[in-house]
């Protein structure tokens, strides 16, 4: 590929990403999620001790989960107009990459929510977290608040690329939410290996219930930063799976190689998270 041709493709992908981002910002499901998250933040503002833990759910459900449904809709709507869009000089993997760029919106909003939560935690006192080093506290909070909001929309794009079943977005949302709830409830009662893996595989690692809620304090399993690495590997896998659709030739080989590498790295991260 010549340098000018590469520049044109890069510019086209960037323009498409900008357009997809605009569409995502006015997606009704995503806007509803943002409004409900804001309502949840305002509703919990007067009770800072409980608010910080409640925010984890708000970020995961309304930014990650609703973001996943919105991204799925957006991807499917693009598939429906494939006959027209296929004429444009942009490959399917580049289109998938442009769609994946939308995930930065809920990611940034979740980061803002984390800032609010940290401020509220400072107000409420920090008894539950004092046993953690500052670095581990940061990793735990990033894993709990921010990364589910990034992974959710990316999963939505991957689902939209590969699965035509019209209810898959809300089915996946409720199954993942059910899984996280089950892990949370079981972890309060017992701490065996099965529960550990169920909690760590859940989309939101809700591992530190507030002592105020009457549930005994449960320490974070494993190493927080490695868990962040595991979540980032999952996000990378979601992006590559989305881009794999319609890829051919050398691009396909590169994506498959990247997929194998990120899956292997993720597995290593997960094993180290549990082992260390």
Interface residues toward other proteins, by CB under 8 A: 23, 26-29, 32, 36, 39-40, 43-44, 54, 57, 61-62, 69, 73-74, 76-77, 80, 165-167, 169-171, 174-175, 177-178, 181-182, 185-186, 189
Closer CB to other proteins, 185 or 264, in the complex: 185
- State the Cα–Cα distance between residues 178 and 193, nearest whole angstrom: 19
Closer CB to other proteins, 108 or 182, in the complex: 182
Closest CA to 100 of 9, 20, 26: 20
Q: Do residues 64 and 153 touch, judged by C-beta distance below 8 A?
A: yes
Task: Output the CA–CA distances (angstroms, integers) from residue 19 to 15, 26, 64, 86, 102, in the order listed.
Answer: 6, 11, 21, 16, 10
- State the Cα–Cα distance between residues 27 and 12, nearest whole angstrom: 22
Closer CB to other proteins, 57 or 270, in the complex: 57
**To the nearest whole angstrom, how small is the minimum distance from the Cβ of residue 253 to other proteins?**
33
Closer CB to other proteins, 178 or 211, in the complex: 178
Closer CB to other proteins, 41 or 241, in the complex: 41
Burial of 20-36, coded b for 16+ CB within 10 Å and e otherwise, reads: beebbeebebbeebbee
Q: Do residues 242 and 154 touch, judged by C-beta distance below 8 A?
A: yes
**To the nearest whole angstrom, how small is the minimum distance from the Cβ of residue 62 to other proteins?**
8
Which helix (H) or strand (E) is 17 found in, with range?
Answer: helix 3-25
- State the Cα–Cα distance between residues 228 and 234, nearest whole angstrom: 10
């Amino acid at each position: 590929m010549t340098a000018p041709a590469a520049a044109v493709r890069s510019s086209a992908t960037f323009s498409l990403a900008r357009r997809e981002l605009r569409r995502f910002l006015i997606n009704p499901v995503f806007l509803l999620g943002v409004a409900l998250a804001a309502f949840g933040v305002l509703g919990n503002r007067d009770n800072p001790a409980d608010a910080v833990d409640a925010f984890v759910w708000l970020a995961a459900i309304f930014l990650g989960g609703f973001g996943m449904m919105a991204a799925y809709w957006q991807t499917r709507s693009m598939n429906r107009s494939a006959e027209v869009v296929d004429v444009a000089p942009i490959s399917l993997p580049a289109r998938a990459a442009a769609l994946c760029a939308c995930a930065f919106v809920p990611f940034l909003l979740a980061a803002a929510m984390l800032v609010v939560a940290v401020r509220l935690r400072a107000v409420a006192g920090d008894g539950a977290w004092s046993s953690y080093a500052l670095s581990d506290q940061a990793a735990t909070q990033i894993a709990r608040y921010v990364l589910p909001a990034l992974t959710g929309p990316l999963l939505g794009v991957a689902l939209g690329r590969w699965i035509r079943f019209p209810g898959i977005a809300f089915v996946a949302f409720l199954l993942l939410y059910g899984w996280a709830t089950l892990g949370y409830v079981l972890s309060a009662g017992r701490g065996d290996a099965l529960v550990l893996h169920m909690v760590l595989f859940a989309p939101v690692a809700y591992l530190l219930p507030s002592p105020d809620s009457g549930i005994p304090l449960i320490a974070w399993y494993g190493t927080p930063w490695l868990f962040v690495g595991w979540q980032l590997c999952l996000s990378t896998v979601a992006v590559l799976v989305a881009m794999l659709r319609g890829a051919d030739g050398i691009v396909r080989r590169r994506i498959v190689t990247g997929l194998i590498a990120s899956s292997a790295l993720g597995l290593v991260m997960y094993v180290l998270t549990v082992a260390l």
